[in-house]
Each structure stands twice: as structure tokens, then as C-alpha cells.
């Protein structure tokens, strides 16, 4: 069974506008890292938002772990889908230190478990020594790792990442890509990410999906 199954998904921004996603279908296996590529504006970010539950499709179905999260009669709220999302700008809370940014994702755990899980996440992304720093005191790559830790902390079934490397300079990209690959494989994570860059696809994905406009 595929972890994510998308069938005949359609979506447009506003009634009467041309569809951004038109009868799109694909499936993703557990543990796979899949890159979504395609021309600018052809709906890559929208597809991630639909899977996360941040947009409602006009038609079609998305199943996660065999259960429908959206179809004509079902809509499962984003926080109940088992989806972690890393946004293009990382969306860290600027007034919270690294520790608090990650703890935010752990609020439903009992205090003791929360502390243990926080330490595990910090170790995974190599930021144990940075936990009291604020986002503006971190490099782009370190901010990306905080966003990743926050998304992974919720133990999502699938991790969605929108242009995860776009804010990094060329020098950082190589090392961050290989670090990310190690983290994903260590966590046995299923991951779907959007990119413009074929080098990202070659570096970290098992395969790619070309989204046609």
C-alpha cells in the first residue's frame, strides 16, 4: 500500500479561474523521497498545500496511510493529517529561541517526554549547542535545520518541503543536502519536496514527479 495516494485532484484559486491542478494523480511509497519539479507557477506549492490541508480541492481524493484525508465527503483538518511542513522561508517564530520553536510542535506531549524528545531532535539536526539562540542569530542552513526539527518533532507520516534549499548559498547547499539526506534516511521519513533545481533532485530524491501546467 502506498503511503500517499492522490487521485484525480483538481484545484483552482477562486471560482471560474483556470485550474492550477487539473486531474492530478500520483502515489508515494513509505520511506521514499520524491522531488516535484516543473515550471514556475504551475502549481507545485499548491500541491503541497493541498496535501497539508491548507487548501480545499475542487475534486479528487488524497489518502494518507490508506485513509482519505480529503474527498467529496471528507476533510481532515491539517493538524490531524500526520503531515509536517517546512515552508520556503522556514516560518520560524522570530521571538522564540530554537528550543521554544521546536517545543511549540511538542505541546501535546507530557512535560518529561517533551524534554527528552526536544533533546533528540536537537541532536538529530546538530543544534544542541544553539538551542538558546534566536532565528536572527542563525545562518540560513541552521534556520533550515530548526524548521526541519520542528516539522519532524511531530513524528509526521510524511514531510513536505517547499524549496528547502532556495535560501542557501551555493557553498552551503551541498553540505545541507547531504545532511538532510542523512536525517531523512535515519528517521525513515517519507518526504515530498518542491524544487526548481535538478541538482536537488539528483542529490536527495529517489525519483521525481514532473508537474505539467
Ligand X SMILES: Nc1ncnc2c1ncn2[C@@H]1O[C@H](COP(=O)(O)OP(=O)(O)OP(=O)(O)O)[C@@H](O)[C@H]1O
Positions that interact with ligand X (CB under 6 A) = 13, 20, 38, 40-46, 196
**Closer to ligand X at the Cβ: 40 or 73?**
40
Please tell me whether residue 10 adopts helix, strand or coil conformation: strand
82: left (phi over 0), alpha (psi -120 to 50) or beta: left
**Closer to ligand X at the Cβ: 46 or 101?**
46
Min separation Cβ 36 and ligand X, Å: 8
Please tell me whether residue 180 adopts helix, strand or coil conformation: helix
* Angle, vertex CA 32, rays to CA 37 and CA 179, nearest 5: 80
**Closer to ligand X at the Cβ: 11 or 130?**
11
**Closer to ligand X at the Cβ: 121 or 211?**
211
Min separation Cβ 143 and ligand X, Å: 19
Min separation Cβ 10 and ligand X, Å: 13
Q: d(Cα 86, Cα 78) in Å, to the nearest integer?
A: 14
Q: Among positive and negative, which fits the CA dihedral 153, 164, 86, 76?
A: negative
Q: d(Cα 65, Cα 184) in Å, to the nearest integer?
A: 19
Q: Among positive and negative, which fits the CA dihedral 186, 188, 194, 197?
A: positive
Min separation Cβ 65 and ligand X, Å: 25
**Closer to ligand X at the Cβ: 196 or 210?**
196
Min separation Cβ 52 and ligand X, Å: 13
Amino acid at each position: 500500500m502506498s503511503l500517499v495516494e492522490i487521485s484525480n485532484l483538481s484545484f483552482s484559486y477562486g471560482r471560474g479561474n483556470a485550474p492550477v491542478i487539473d486531474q492530478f494523480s500520483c502515489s508515494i511509497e513509505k520511506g521514499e523521497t520524491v522531488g516535484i519539479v516543473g515550471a514556475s507557477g504551475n502549481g507545485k506549492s499548491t500541491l503541497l498545500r493541498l496535501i497539508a490541508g491548507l487548501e480545499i480541492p475542487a475534486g479528487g481524493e488524497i489518502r494518507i496511510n490508506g485513509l482519505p484525508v480529503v474527498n467529496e465527503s471528507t476533510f481532515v483538518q491539517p493538524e490531524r493529517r500526520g503531515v509536517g511542513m517546512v515552508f520556503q522561508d522556514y516560518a520560524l517564530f522570530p521571538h522564540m529561541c530554537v528550543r521554544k520553536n521546536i517545543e511549540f510542535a511538542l505541546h501535546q506531549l507530557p512535560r518529561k517526554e517533551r524534554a527528552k524528545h526536544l533533546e533528540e531532535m536537537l541532536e538529530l539536526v546538530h543544534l544542541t549547542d544553539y538551542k538558546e539562540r534566536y532565528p536572527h542569530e542563525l545562518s540560513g542552513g541552521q534556520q533550515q535545520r530548526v524548521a526541519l526539527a520542528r516539522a519532524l518533532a511531530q513524528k509526521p507520516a510524511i514531510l513536505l518541503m517547499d524549496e528547502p534549499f532556495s535560501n542557501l548559498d551555493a557553498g552551503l547547499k551541498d553540505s545541507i543536502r547531504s545532511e538532510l539526506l542523512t536525517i531523512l534516511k535515519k528517521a525513515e521519513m517519507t518526504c515530498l519536496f518542491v524544487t526548481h533545481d535538478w541538482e536537488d533532485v539528483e542529490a536527495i530524491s529517489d525519483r521525481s514527479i514532473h508537474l505539467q501546467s
